[in-house]
C-alpha cells in the first residue's frame, strides 16, 4: 500500500510541476539593414512547416547607441515564428510565436567581419502561454544563421479538471496488478 501511494504521489507531482520548455531552434536566412534597424527572415531548420521549417521574421528596435555594426538597439521591434501548412506557400499561416525584443539588443563585429546580433525575446506561443527566451543571429554579407532559445516562465495553471482523476484512475489500475505480483514473490 505504501508503494502504491508513493507511485501515485510521484506521478501527481510530475504531472503538475513540469513546465513547458523549448530548447534551441536553429535558422538560416537573410537580413537587411535599415536606417536605424536590422530586419531578418529565415527558415527554421528541422521542424514543421515550409520546405524546411517555420518562417522566422524579426525587426530590431531603433538604434540607441553606436553604429549598425557595433551598437545597441532599444527594446521593441518584432520577433515572430510563422508556420505555413502547405509546404512553403504563403497560404494558411499559423503564428507559433509572436513577440518582440524585451531588452537592449546588441550587435558586435569581430575581426573577420562577422556580426553577432543578440538579445532577449518574449511573447506568446500558439497556446497563449507567455514565454521568454534569447536569440543570437550571425550576420555576414546579407546571409544570416542563428539560434533561438525559448523557455516557459511563470506560474503553472491548474490542469484541466478531468486530467487528474483520469491519471489517478490509470495509476491505480496499473498499481493493482503490480502489487499482486510483488506480494506473490514475497
Number of domains in the chain: 2
In terms of domains, do 60 and 144 share one? Answer: yes
Between residues 17 and 138, which one has the greater pLDDT? 138
In this predicted model, what pLDDT tens digit does every residue of 52-78 receive, in sequence order? 568 889 999 999 999 998 999 999 999
In terms of domains, do 83 and 55 share one? Answer: yes
In terms of domains, do 179 and 151 share one? Answer: no
Whether residue 12 lies inside any domain: the answer is no
In this predicted model, what pLDDT tens digit does every residue of 87-98 receive, in sequence order? 556 667 888 889
In terms of domains, do 137 and 179 share one? Answer: no
In terms of domains, do 185 and 119 share one? Answer: no
In terms of domains, do 131 and 182 share one? Answer: no
Whether residue 95 lies inside any domain: the answer is yes
Long-range contacts at 8-16 (CB < 8 A, ≥ 24 apart): 8/168, 8/171, 8/172, 8/175, 11/167, 11/171, 12/164, 12/167, 12/168, 15/159, 15/163, 15/164, 15/167, 16/156, 16/159
Does the pLDDT at position 161 exceed 80?
no
Residue 34 near residue 15, CB atoms below 8 Å: no
Does the pLDDT at position 8 exceed 60?
no
In terms of domains, do 64 and 151 share one? Answer: yes
In terms of domains, do 118 and 168 share one? Answer: no
Whether residue 7 lies inside any domain: the answer is no
Whether residue 6 lies inside any domain: the answer is no
pLDDT at 18: 36
Across the range 91-119, mean pLDDT stands at 90
Whether residue 99 lies inside any domain: the answer is yes
Whether residue 3 lies inside any domain: the answer is no
pLDDT at 15: 46
Kindly indicate the confidence band of residue 10, based on its pLDDT and cuts at 50, 70 and 90: low
pLDDT at 40: 93
Whether residue 10 lies inside any domain: the answer is no
Between residues 147 and 105, which one has the greater pLDDT? 105
Whether residue 52 lies inside any domain: the answer is yes
In terms of domains, do 65 and 120 share one? Answer: yes
Q: Quote the pTM value.
A: 0.66
Kindly indicate the confidence band of residue 16, based on its pLDDT and cuts at 50, 70 and 90: very low
Q: Quick one: what percent of the chain has pLDDT higher than 90?
A: 32
Give all strands (DSSP E) within 34-166, no chain letters.
Answer: 38-44, 55-59, 63-66, 71-73, 76-84, 93-101, 105-109, 115-125, 130-140, 143-152
- Taking alpha carbons only, the member of 151, 176, 147, 159 closest to residue 46 is 147
Does the pLDDT at position 79 exceed 90?
yes
In terms of domains, do 172 and 145 share one? Answer: no
Number of H helices, E strands in the chain: 2, 11
Q: Quick one: what percent of the chain has pLDDT higher than 70?
A: 70
Residue 35 near residue 66, CB atoms below 8 Å: no
In terms of domains, do 98 and 44 share one? Answer: yes
Residue 168 is part of which domain span? 157-186
In terms of domains, do 146 and 168 share one? Answer: no
Amino acid at each position: 500500500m505504501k508503494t502504491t501511494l508513493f507511485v501515485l504521489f510521484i506521478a501527481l507531482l510530475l504531472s503538475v510541476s513540469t513546465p513547458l520548455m523549448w530548447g534551441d531552434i536553429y535558422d538560416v536566412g537573410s537580413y537587411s539593414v535599415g536606417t536605424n534597424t536590422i530586419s531578418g527572415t529565415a527558415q527554421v531548420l528541422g521542424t514543421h512547416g515550409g520546405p524546411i521549417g517555420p518562417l522566422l521574421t524579426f525587426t530590431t528596435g531603433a538604434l540607441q547607441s553606436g553604429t549598425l555594426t557595433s551598437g545597441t538597439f532599444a527594446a521593441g521591434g518584432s520577433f515572430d515564428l510563422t508556420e505555413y501548412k502547405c509546404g512553403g506557400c504563403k497560404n494558411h499561416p499559423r503564428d507559433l510565436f509572436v513577440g518582440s525584443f524585451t531588452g537592449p539588443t546588441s550587435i558586435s563585429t569581430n575581426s573577420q567581419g562577422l556580426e553577432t546580433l543578440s538579445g532577449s525575446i518574449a511573447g506568446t506561443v500558439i497556446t497563449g502561454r507567455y514565454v521568454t527566451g534569447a536569440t543570437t543571429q550571425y550576420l555576414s554579407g546579407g546571409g544570416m544563421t542563428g539560434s533561438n532559445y525559448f523557455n516557459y516562465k511563470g506560474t503553472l495553471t491548474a490542469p484541466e479538471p478531468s486530467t487528474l482523476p483520469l491519471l489517478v484512475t490509470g495509476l491505480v489500475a496499473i498499481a493493482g496488478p503490480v502489487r499482486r505480483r510483488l506480494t506473490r514473490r514475497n
